[in-house]
Structure 1
Amino acid sequence: MKNTTFIKKLIVLGLSATIGLAGTLTFQSPHQAYAAQTGTANASALSASTKATRIINLGEKFMGRKYQFGAPTTSTRTFDCSSFTKYLYKQYGVNLPRSSIKQSKVGKTVSKSNLRKGDLVFFSTTNRNGKGKVNHVAIYAGNGRLLHTYGKPGVTYSNMNSGIWKKSFVVAKRVLS
């Protein structure tokens, strides 16, 4: 009889603890679940190089995703250039401002010849001599490649050493540490 009472008390205690713990559980968004799976939840412990590679890999998952000027930063259905960078870098603990011009004011300025993967690269596509107002941001992906989103292709890679991107470069910033 004493054993039965003891076992009943253990069961009640166990159920109470389970119910209590269930009240503290949180539900994850798909992005939080992805972060947990890929280790982005513990981004502060990663090296800048590792963060850059992971940011680029995550960005590639959105290849072809449509461009929409003013796209919300809370959705991944569409992106504009700065919502794309803001979203990707946030997954790795870097909070960027919303606009490309404001993003161009954070981090350490780096020369074009010293670019590293993960650096943000800024352009003035309306004034093609590199002296105009910043209106576009891209992620340097190495070997002269930019990962970004604009116009018809949406999220894509471009060669920063040709065409509009060569003519309209303004500044590059290092934001990963």
Structure 2
Amino acid sequence: MVKKYRVFIATICLVLLLTAPVSAFYEAVPEAGIAINGKMVDGIKPIKMNGKYYIPFTNLSRILGYNDIRFETNTKTYQVTDGSTIVRLTMGGTRARRGDEFMNIDAPRWVNETAFVSLDAASSLFNSFVYFKPENGSIQVEKPASRYRVQSGDTLWLISEAHHTTVQQLMAANGLTSTVIFPGQVLKLPPRGQTKEMEPIKEKKPVERVPQQGNTNAELITIAKQYIGAGYKFGATLAEAPRLFDCSSYTQFVFRQKGIQLPRTSREQAGLGRSIPTSSLKQGDLLFFQSPSLYSDGRVGHLGIYIEGGHMIHASSSKGVHITYNVLNNSYWGKNYLFAKRIIE
């Protein structure tokens, strides 16, 4: 009976600790400038908890181009995307999801109805290296990351999977002779030529589509060309179409008009359909590319729709919706090409 009573008291104490106001445990600090690759871009209001800096999650998301932000009130879960990858995290959870990979992070905190993440968690979630610069009190973002700070629960295998490289390449980049690593250790990421994502796991369900009459592929290209000249916005939402697109909202919007439902991000779209060799490409196939200036992990970062003759229509950050001719011979797109998928058989 005494033992059960002690367990009951311990449980009550734990519940009280977990539900106690978080505001009692944080320290307000001055507003900080936030710089990306050395260029000051905005201001942000951090807090300090247990000696660590935490920054507002939604503010940081928008600064980094993750403009599609959704919040599930009942679970206090955020989902954000930049059009390439979906990031999901729940308040208090130490595991977050980036694409189809799980990341170990410091538990996000809920303070004054605002979600805060540590600088290390921000680094993992956004494929960046985020740190505090005491010389001027600023938050610095190295994007894409060339290094990674080890989190509790990490192994070299988990880190290599998240960055689309191998344990051997990680060890070589850091001169490691053992696989033993420890939280807080900063690892160099392998050169970008050694980080390249292959085709993501295929969806278990077929692509949703409504039966169509006529030449669906040709009609798809006709529809796609109607939006040439539309502007580009990183992480654009479908509500902003057809005025603004990012690469995956554009393909989603175009295919939807032929009754074909594609998911939101380029990486999710890469998981659908059938792999096609470049020698067998036909109109309407999707072409996938990495974006080394945005992501150091070699992930799918861009896509477009193949047009007969070796061309591609797509929404790019530099030109909006346009056609790139002889795309696989293009000096930029050719070297960053990953694979092709057929959605319309």
**TM-score, length-scaled by structure 2:** 0.36
Q: 2:287 aligns with which of 92, 102, 121?
A: 121
Consecutive unaligned residues in structure 1, runs of 5 or more: 1-41
CA deviation string 1:4-26 (max 9, x = no partner): xxxxxxxxxxxxxxxxxxxxxxx
1:72 maps to: 237
CA contact (8 A) 1:125 1:164 kept: no
1:4 maps to: none
Partner amino acid, structure 1, of 2:305: I
2:319 maps to: 153
SS in 1 for 2:219: helix
SS in 1 for 2:262: coil
Consecutive unaligned residues in structure 2, runs of 5 or more: 1-208
> C-alpha displacement at 1:99, in angstroms?
0.4
> C-alpha displacement at 1:43, in angstroms?
5.7
SS in 2 for 1:139: strand
- Identity within the alignment, %: 34
Tell me: higher relative CO, structure 1 or 2? Use CA pairs within 8 A at least 6 residues apart.
Answer: 1
2:336 maps to: 168
Number of residue equivalences:
131
Give the Cα separation in 2 of the matches to 1:112 and 1:135.
Answer: 19
Say yes or no: does 1:140 pair with 2:303: no
CA contact (8 A) 2:212 2:258 kept: no
Q: Which has the higher strand share?
A: 2
Give the Cα separation in 2 of the matches to 1:124 and 1:69.
Answer: 15
Q: CA RMSD in A?
A: 1.8
> C-alpha displacement at 1:45, in angstroms?
3.1
Partner amino acid, structure 1, of 2:332: I
CA contact (8 A) 1:106 1:173 kept: yes
SS in 1 for 2:344: coil
> C-alpha displacement at 1:51, in angstroms?
1.2
Give the Cα separation in 1 of the matches to 2:213 and 2:274.
Answer: 19
Q: 2:265 aligns with which of 85, 94, 99?
A: 99
2:211 maps to: 44
**TM-score, length-scaled by structure 1:** 0.69
Partner amino acid, structure 2, of 1:78: L
Q: Which has the higher helix share?
A: 1
2:226 maps to: 61
Partner amino acid, structure 2, of 1:68: K
Regions of 4+ moved over 3 Å: none
> C-alpha displacement at 1:175, in angstroms?
0.3
